């Protein structure tokens, strides 16, 4: 696998072990900052944004790099998850790289928190098959629940009168999206926030499942509530 290097040296120069790891796992180098708006806004506007107390800069799950185990890589690495680009970044010496999105390096276990990030195929909210990173939040023999954690860049609102107030802007964390794999399904599906749509993902003739979903008090914004519902469905 080749690496498109934007520095004067190849990654790991002078360190054979590091060079091998880089060539096996990484697809390109980058400057440390991933603040995407910096490439589209002039410096004056950018400085105004960043000096505003309402500006939020939620680009990463955790701002600092943290130790993680990566599938098919022997030694732990320092990583962080980019909420905007849907990328896992790894730090090697003074350089930051994006991990190649492939099935060989598809699982990251963060040692400090126990969080597991997996690169998987799934059906998104629009019904389209895609691949990307999902956080595994619960798993047993019957189902696995995942969530997509992400951030979007929101422009500051243009105030039309003195009665309006500015809201936070910048890289704003969004409500997580939930996905699940099940013994009833052959794909990882988006977990819809309406009971009738959720019921449609299970066998049509299983009236017991439909009744469980219909009569449940599930909150689709509550992770524990979702897990409890899925447990009840699979234990009926």
Backbone angles phi, psi at 105, to 5 degrees: -110, 65
- Report the C-alpha gap between 210 and 8 in whole angstroms: 61
Looking at residue 69, its pLDDT comes to 95
Looking at residue 33, its pLDDT comes to 42
Give the residue from 196, 185, 201, 192 showing the smallest Cα distance to 220.
Answer: 192
Looking at residue 153, its pLDDT comes to 87
Summarize pLDDT for 8-43 with one digit per residue, the tens.
233 333 344 444 444 455 544 443 343 555 556 677
| C-alpha of 204 from chain center | 32
186 vs 161, higher pLDDT: 186
User: What does the DSSP 8-state code read for residue 4?
Assistant: B
pTM of this structure: 0.81
- Residue 64, both tokens: 């600092």
Question: How high does pLDDT run on average in the chain?
Answer: 82
Count CB neighbours of 215 within 10 A.
9
Looking at residue 223, its pLDDT comes to 95
Backbone angles phi, psi at 126, to 5 degrees: -95, 5
Residues linked to residue 70 through DSSP beta bridges, in sequence order: 108
Residues linked to residue 119 through DSSP beta bridges, in sequence order: 133
- Report the C-alpha gap between 194 and 167 in whole angstroms: 29
Which residues are within 8 A (CB) of 108 and not within 5 positions of it... i.e. 6 or more apart? 68, 69, 70, 71, 79, 88, 116, 117, 118
* pLDDT exceeds cutoff 80 at 182: yes
* pLDDT exceeds cutoff 60 at 116: yes
At how many degrees (to 10) do helices 223-235 and 207-215 cross? Answer: 150
- Report the C-alpha gap between 115 and 151 in whole angstroms: 18
Looking at residue 32, its pLDDT comes to 36
Q: Under a CB-based contact definition with an 8 Å cutoff, are residues 54 and 159 in contact?
A: no
* % of the chain with per-residue pLDDT over 90: 51
Q: Lowest-pLDDT range, 18-22, 44-48, 182-186?
A: 18-22
Q: Lowest-pLDDT range, 8-12, 35-39, 91-95, 150-154?
A: 8-12
Backbone angles phi, psi at 120, to 5 degrees: -140, 155
- Report the C-alpha gap between 40 and 46 in whole angstroms: 9
159 vs 225, higher pLDDT: 225
């Amino acid at each position: 696998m080749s690496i498109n290097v934007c520095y004067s040296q190849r990654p790991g120069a002078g360190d054979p072990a590091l060079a091998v790891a880089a060539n096996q796992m990484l697809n390109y180098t980058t400057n440390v900052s991933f603040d995407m708006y910096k490439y589209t806004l002039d410096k004056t506007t950018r400085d105004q944004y960043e000096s505003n107390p309402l500006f939020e800069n939620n680009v990463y799950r955790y701002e600092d790099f943290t130790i993680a185990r990566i599938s098919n890589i022997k030694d732990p690495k320092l990583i962080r998850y980019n909420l905007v680009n849907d990328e896992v970044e790894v730090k090697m010496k003074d350089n930051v790289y994006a991990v190649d999105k492939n099935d060989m390096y598809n699982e990251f276990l963060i040692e400090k928190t126990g969080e597991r990030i997996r690169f998987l195929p799934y059906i998104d909210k629009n019904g389209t098959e895609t691949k990307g990173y999902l956080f595994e939040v619960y798993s047993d023999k019957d189902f696995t629940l995942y969530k997509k954690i992400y951030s979007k860049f929101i422009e500051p609102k243009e105030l039309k009168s003195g009665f309006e107030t500015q809201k936070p802007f910048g890289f704003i964390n969004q409500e997580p999206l939930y996905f699940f794999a099940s013994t009833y399904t052959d794909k990882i599906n988006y977990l819809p926030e309406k009971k009738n749509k959720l019921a449609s993902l299970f066998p049509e003739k299983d009236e017991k499942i439909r009744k469980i979903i219909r009569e449940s008090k599930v909150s689709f914004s509550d992770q524990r509530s979702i897990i409890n519902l899925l447990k009840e469905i699979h234990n009926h």
